[in-house]
Amino acid sequence: MLQEYFVQNPLLFVTLTLLVFATLVQVVYYWFIYEKVAFFKQKNEFARSDQGVSVIVCARDEYYNLKENLPKLLSQDYSKFEVVVVNHSSEDDTQYLLRDMAAEHPNLKIVNLAQDLNFFTGKKFPLSIGIKSASYEILVFTDADCVPRSNQWLRRMAANFTEGTHIVLGYGAYQNSKSLLNLLIRFDTTRVAMNYLGFARSGMPYMGVGRNLAYRKSLFYNQNGFISHYRIQSGDDDLFINKAATAKNTRIEIMPEAHTISLPKTTLNQWIRQKRRHLMTGGYYKPSHKFALGLFAFTQVLFWVSAVCLLAFWYQPYIVLAFTGLRIFSQLFVTAKVMRKLSEKGFLLLVPVFELFLMLVSPLLAIANMVKKPVKWR
């Protein structure tokens, strides 16, 4: 039977074989990797009261964000913590705001930096200074434009630092609005989280996001900080985790009260610039990570191209529709579960559309990065 189909139309038969292969690979990713986020049951653990935590925030000209968000960092329901703010060459009134707030909050520590070191780029130098200035072993990182979803954020992140745990990967969400761009940004954020959280749960952690990330100070020094990638503009979060994380030293924290929330970009151009910066570091990941991520991306493209070609020629339509339906069902079912875990909503039915959009745009952004590097962190 198969030989007969091959003889009748060998090209379409090969395309059907590729569709079956791509579908099966995609289904494996969804049901064996991403499902570890979708069905993850977080333990209700509590941090030890004597386990001190240093929250580190780097800020440059972030007066308004700090005025709005810093009080919520300082009011966390945790008995022993400090917030270290690195004021990185700000030209607005950040310095005076921090001075006034420090007078009211003894656990606010301010580090003022007047200049960069020439051989460090992006946030790596100010982050290194903030880490050096931290009083405690456990470091929790977030950005000046981020706010914890609740006053239990610090307690939940710190609770994961049991014996042998050196890294905790959190989820950094974006504020919800009804614009199409906002839906796209939140889909992309959920997709990225589904990857790095799912791979971490599968024993292959490869990145984290600086909006909500924690690790031990001793780990930072044992890894020689950011030295291995100091010439790369970005990567203070994902490249460090890619180098330092192992199956045994990494945990995830995705309870809703442990999320952070940021203001998303409001124009497509702003989002594209941000996306280009994020894409820069992927080429520096470990080969095994690049292969795992690349295999998913390759079979994703292969699935859509082969499905469209086969349906256009109406070749073995029942088989094509069956495999296409299996893949899309797996995607929507698992993604819906992940969205619920991450308190995301409003874009489930748009997932295939956004997937196709990113599948077309991402290669263009990668080419743009090769032609011209994106703007540095300000």
**Three-class SS of the chain:** CHHHHHHHCHHHHHHHHHHHHHHHHHHHHHHHHHHHHHCCCCCCCCCCCCCCEEEEEEECCCHHHHHHHHHHHHCCCCCCEEEEEEEECCCCCHHHHHHHHHHHCCCEEEEEECCCCCCCCCCHHHHHHHHHHCCCCEEEECCCCEEECCCCHHHHHHHCCCCCCCEEECCEEECCCCCHHHHHHHHHHHHHHHHHHHHHHCCCCCCCCCCCEEEEHHHHHHCCCCHHHCCCCCCCCHHHHHHHCCCCCEEECCCHHHCEEECCCCCHHHHHHHHHHHHHHHHHCCHHHHHHHHHHHHHHHHHHHHHHHHHHCCCCHHHHHHHHHHHHHHHHHHHHHHHHHCCCCCCHHHHHHHHHHHHHHHHHHHHHHHHCCCCCCC
Q: Domains in the chain: how many in total? A: 2
33 and 64 assigned to the same domain: no
77 and 200 assigned to the same domain: yes
Provide the pLDDT for residue 159.
94
Sheet of 260-262, strand order: 146-148, 260-262, 172-174
On whether residue 44 sits in a domain, the answer given is no
On whether residue 160 sits in a domain, the answer given is yes
Q: Can you give the residue range of the structural domain that contains 17?
A: 2-39+288-371
Q: pLDDT tens digits, the chain, 378 residues: what are they?
A: 555 555 567 899 999 999 999 999 999 999 999 999 999 998 776 656 578 999 999 999 999 999 999 999 999 999 999 999 999 988 999 999 999 999 999 999 999 988 665 455 678 889 999 999 999 999 999 999 999 999 999 999 999 999 999 999 999 999 998 899 999 999 999 999 999 999 999 999 999 999 999 999 999 999 998 888 777 777 789 999 999 999 999 999 999 999 999 999 889 999 998 888 778 788 889 999 999 999 999 999 999 999 999 999 999 999 999 999 999 999 999 999 999 999 999 999 999 999 999 999 988 888 887 777 655 545
157 and 306 assigned to the same domain: no
94 and 158 assigned to the same domain: yes
Provide the pLDDT for residue 4.
57
75 and 33 assigned to the same domain: no
Tokens at 150, concatenated: 């609740």
Check if the beta carbon of residue 13 is closer than 8 Å to that of residue 178: no
Sheet of 108-113, strand order: 108-113, 81-88, 53-59, 138-141, 213-216, 167-169, 250-252
98 and 245 assigned to the same domain: yes
For residue 46, the one-letter residue type is F
- In angstroms, the CA 288 to CA 163 distance is 27
Check if the beta carbon of residue 216 is closer than 8 Å to that of residue 166: yes
Tokens at 96, concatenated: 């005076």
Domain of residue 80, CATH code: 3.90.550.10
223 and 345 assigned to the same domain: no
246 and 156 assigned to the same domain: yes
112 and 260 assigned to the same domain: yes
143 and 85 assigned to the same domain: yes
Choosing from 265, 300, 321, the residue where a domain stops is 265
- In angstroms, the CA 7 to CA 3 distance is 6
- In angstroms, the CA 70 to CA 144 distance is 8
On whether residue 305 sits in a domain, the answer given is yes
On whether residue 273 sits in a domain, the answer given is no
6 and 131 assigned to the same domain: no
86 and 32 assigned to the same domain: no
Choosing from 230, 265, 300, the residue where a domain stops is 265
Q: Model's pTM, two decimal places?
A: 0.93
On whether residue 237 sits in a domain, the answer given is yes
Check if the beta carbon of residue 357 is closer than 8 Å to that of residue 185: no
Provide the pLDDT for residue 370.
75
Q: Strands of 17-66 (E only): list them.
A: 53-59
On whether residue 376 sits in a domain, the answer given is no
Choosing from 206, 230, 265, the residue where a domain stops is 265
Burial of 41 (0-12, 13-18, 19+ CB in 10 A): exposed
- In angstroms, the CA 308 to CA 311 distance is 5
